[in-house]
Amino acid sequence: MTPITQTLPIVTTPELDFDQNAASTFGHSLASTYAQATPFPHIVIDDFLPQDLIASICAHFPVEPTNNEMLYERGYKGQHKRQVSPNECDPYLKTVFNAFNSAPMLQFLEKLTGIEGLIPDPYFTGGGLHETKKGGFLGVHSDFRLNKKLNIERRLNAIIYLNQDWQEAYGGNLELWDVGMKTCLKKVLPIYNRCVIFNTDKDSNHGHPEPLTTPEHITRRSIALYYYTAATVVADPAQRNKTHYKPRPKDRLSLKYYLNKLIKKKN
């Protein structure tokens, strides 16, 4: 599927304004494309934010460490990755993320996906601003389904990439895998102002599992937004509040090889 080029109806002058009716129309116009995508419902939209808005977001991206940010050095579960909460950012970024959690954004997403009653997460659990350094990666996984704090069920991911002049040689492709984890069916290069939106369920297998080959001063930056609906049944937290990482065929081979070496060494 070729990326669509279309811009979210947000006006940034003299201040941030987001038209709800226009957002609904925008989402509705792309609904069939979203529903028909494989390996699971998704869409890739280029030039997603107005140019002045995304440029300002990039200019305000926190370079220095913020309070309570998360650093991941967990191998396949996330390596050389930084996660920053918008609630710890400057007032400008807080205003922008409030717009991403607003009624017009929810209307756009509901009309796009056909999922009614979407709920944003004001705490940005697991989301916000993400940054991965050279050599970093995130294994293929399906996301946690239950937001324990709010007791709501995760339904959608929206990722907006902030990477100017990103080269294909750097890697960092978002990979979408089939249910059986046998084949990568789509790769999405994380280029500037590209947005990927997709359903999150137990079979929405995705990640960027190949280590980045960027120069030291270039990082892979993105906005990660998660949306929920009220849980219709009592959820089992033991089963639904964890991210499920899934090895690719070559990862399974590597793991088997490592375990065999370990067994031989012990013997």
151-195 per-position pLDDT tens digit? 999 999 999 999 999 999 999 999 999 999 999 999 999 999 999
Round the average pLDDT of the chain to a whole number and report it.
Answer: 91
Confidence at residue 110, expressed as pLDDT on a 0 to 100 scale: 98
pLDDT tens, residue by residue, 85-102:
999 999 999 999 999 999
pLDDT tens, residue by residue, 44-86:
999 999 999 999 999 999 999 999 999 999 999 999 999 999 9
Of the candidates 196, 197, 208, 73, the one whose C-alpha atom is nearest the C-alpha of residue 140 is: 208
pTM, entire model: 0.89
Contact 106, 92 (CB under 8 A): no
How many residues appear in the chain? 267
236 pLDDT tier (thresholds 50, 70, 90): low
Q: Measured between alpha carbons, how far is 89 from 124 in angstroms, rounded to an integer?
A: 12
| Mean local confidence (pLDDT), 15-44 | 97
- Least confident residue range of 147-151, 187-191, 197-201, 222-226: 147-151
Of the candidates 108, 199, 206, 205, the one whose C-alpha atom is nearest the C-alpha of residue 155 is: 199
Q: Measured between alpha carbons, how far is 201 from 116 in angstroms, rounded to an integer?
A: 16
Burial class from Cβ neighbours inside 10 Å (0-12, 13-18, 19+) for residue 73 reads exposed
231 pLDDT tier (thresholds 50, 70, 90): confident
| Mean local confidence (pLDDT), 211-230 | 97
pLDDT tens, residue by residue, 8-18:
999 998 889 99
Of the candidates 213, 195, 182, the one whose C-alpha atom is nearest the C-alpha of residue 30 is: 195
Q: Retrieve residue 219's tokens.
A: 């990082």
Confidence at residue 101, expressed as pLDDT on a 0 to 100 scale: 98
pLDDT tens, residue by residue, 94-127:
999 999 999 999 999 999 999 999 999 999 999 9
150 has a pLDDT exceeding 90: yes
Contact 155, 187 (CB under 8 A): no
234 pLDDT tier (thresholds 50, 70, 90): low
Burial class from Cβ neighbours inside 10 Å (0-12, 13-18, 19+) for residue 249 reads exposed
Per DSSP, 242 falls in state S
Contact 59, 222 (CB under 8 A): no
